[in-house]
Amino acid sequence: LATHFLDRIEKSELNAFLHVDRALTLAQAAEADARIAAGTATPLTGVPIAHKDIFVTQGWRSTAGSKMLANYVSPFDATVVQKFNAAGMVTLGKLNCDEFAMGSANENSAFGPVKNPWDHAAVPGGSSGGSAAAVAARLAPGVTGTDTGGSIRQPAAFCGITGIKPTYGRVSRFGMIAFASSLDQGGPMAQTAEDCALLLNAMAGFDERDSTSLTPEQGGVEEDFGRDLNQPLAGLRIGVPKEYFGEGLAADVEAAVRAALAKYVELGATLVDISLPNTALSIPAYYMIAPAEASSNLSRFDGVRFGHRADGYKDLQDMYKKTRAEGFGPEVQRRIMVGTYVLCHGYYDAYYLKAQRIRRLIAQDFEAVLSGPNAVCDVIMGPVAPTVAWDLGSKSDPVANYLADIYTLSTSLAGLPGMSIPCGFGQGDKNGKRPVGLQIIGNYFAEAKLLNVAHQFQ
């Protein structure tokens, strides 16, 4: 199985993989074989997996898509990687992504863009673009991704695969190179909800090495996320937010999403009109909070402790300056500047604090419809992105990229679980070959419900 995928990866021209090492993979595969022979296998033993290059891995380079970490090899494995290794999974390699997971198209990678397997002229989405492309092109049966503001859901949508961002705190962030710590959340991406459930079972759980990991008392209990896959959907109430179907939503995406909603009605669900009034504010709030946290997290890349160090500097200040100017790409530099600015004394209240207040309001929008005795729906559905994948190189304006995150940012700001499943193809592009994703959002800890709802559609 490992050889089959390695051969496909070798022939692929998508640039989805950044590092492969046949010997390392085959050694792990041999261990899996031995374990199967010894009768100590888990359901995942011998199953190949590949990791977004944001997860650190012993023995493989971990670059976060950045020149800053081009030759960095971690002395330890991320918790998620450790858990998959312990289950006997076989690592195929590391996957391309936007630099430090900042982006929506995988075009911010220092190691070049990734092609969308459905249409090589299109972006695969981002920041987990290599992850989504690898699954769609059948270079790996399952992969890891991370989602800070949509980076699992949006590339899954653009590449026609399934991905789930769990409730914030479900999956350990230990060894996940930090972008915006209060938002970052790892999750699985695969062909189906059933596969995602199997992977999430192995990934999730409390980790004392991550201070925001959910303890069992906080709800971070070990559970079988696939337990409800086969539950019928009769009586399911689906909230349809009017803000997700307004101006800016492409007609072809809307048509595919509405057709999916109609299929859910056939499966026994009812549609409920809801409002998430603060949706539009998610963009300015997220694009202050995320850069603020990034500016702090990225201060560790100083040329002393990790990775790249510039040559020919005059003194310490000059070394920092040259190292960071050379090591970070333009989008990362932009975010460090924005983040530093909104955290400045004198601007903090006007920008950062206000953004945090908006974040609270956004969470309350969801609570009002999903929580407590007055809840009007069990899940929320809508598009993942306003359009299908755009052409490579066509969206160079950063703000245009930010605006395309409108339907995914709120879920992240609220810390809720969300997923993307394929629901058809766009008609607006050249050959009608670009996939559309349906987004399913649930209350905190509702992953099993989301996977059930997704599986019944698939």
Q: Does 147 bind ligand GLN (CB under 6 A)?
A: yes
Q: Write out the two tokens for 367.
A: 């609570």
The count of residues in the chain is: 458
Q: Binders of ligand GLN: how many residues, by CB under 6 A? A: 13
Task: Give the CA angle between residues 263, 268, 270 to the nearest 5°.
Answer: 85
Q: Does 131 bind ligand GLN (CB under 6 A)?
A: no
Query: Which CB sits closer to ligand GLN, 325 or 399?
Result: 399
349 secondary structure, DSSP code:
I
CA 72 – CA 74 distance, rounded (Å): 6
In the annotation, is 354 catalytic?
no
Contact by Cβ (8 Å): 87, 202 = yes
Contact range with ligand GLN by CB under 6 A, out of 143-151, 304-312, 354-362, 364-372: 143-151
Query: Which CB sits closer to ligand GLN, 179 or 264?
Result: 179
In the annotation, is 52 catalytic?
yes
Task: Give the CA angle between residues 179, 195, 244 to the nearest 5°.
Answer: 60
Measured in Å, how far apart are the chain's first and last C-alpha atoms?
25
Q: Does 53 bind ligand GLN (CB under 6 A)?
A: no
Query: Which CB sits closer to ligand GLN, 127 or 443?
Result: 127
CA 33 – CA 40 distance, rounded (Å): 10
**Residue bearing tokens 């500047």:** 337
Rg (CA), the chain: 21
240 secondary structure, DSSP code:
E
Which string of x and - marks every residue 162-191 that binds ligand GLN (by CB under 6 A)? -----------------x------------
Contact range with ligand GLN by CB under 6 A, out of 9-17, 21-29, 141-149, 346-354: 141-149
Is beta strand 379-383 parallel, antiparallel or unpaired with respect to 237-241?
Answer: parallel
Applying CB under 6 A, among 82, 91, 148, 201 the residue interacting with ligand GLN is 148
CA 52: distance to chain centroid?
9
Q: Does 102 bind ligand GLN (CB under 6 A)?
A: yes
CA 354 – CA 82 distance, rounded (Å): 39
Active-site residue (options: 151, 213, 295, 412): 151
Q: Does 149 bind ligand GLN (CB under 6 A)?
A: yes
Peptide bond into 295 cis (omega under 30): no
Q: Does 106 bind ligand GLN (CB under 6 A)?
A: no
Query: Which CB sits closer to ligand GLN, 154 or 278?
Result: 154
Active-site residue (options: 66, 74, 109, 127): 127
Q: Does 101 bind ligand GLN (CB under 6 A)?
A: yes
Query: Which CB sits closer to ligand GLN, 187 or 424?
Result: 187
Contact range with ligand GLN by CB under 6 A, out of 24-32, 100-108, 205-213, 277-285: 100-108
In the annotation, is 127 catalytic?
yes
Sign of CA dihedral 374, 376, 378, 381: negative
Q: Which residue number has the CB closest to ligand GLN? A: 151
CA 83: distance to chain centroid?
19
Contact range with ligand GLN by CB under 6 A, out of 146-154, 321-329, 347-355, 433-441: 146-154
Q: Considering only residues 67-96, where is the footprint of ligand GLN by CB under 6 A?
A: none
Q: Does 104 bind ligand GLN (CB under 6 A)?
A: yes
List the one residue out of 192, 218, 202 whose CA is nearest residue 51. 202
Q: Does 415 bind ligand GLN (CB under 6 A)?
A: no
| Main-chain dihedrals φ then ψ at residue 311, nearest 5 degrees | -95, 160
Q: Does 25 bind ligand GLN (CB under 6 A)?
A: no
Give residues in contact with ligand GLN (CB under 6 A).
Answer: 101-104, 127, 147-151, 179, 290, 405
Catalytic residues: 52, 127, 151
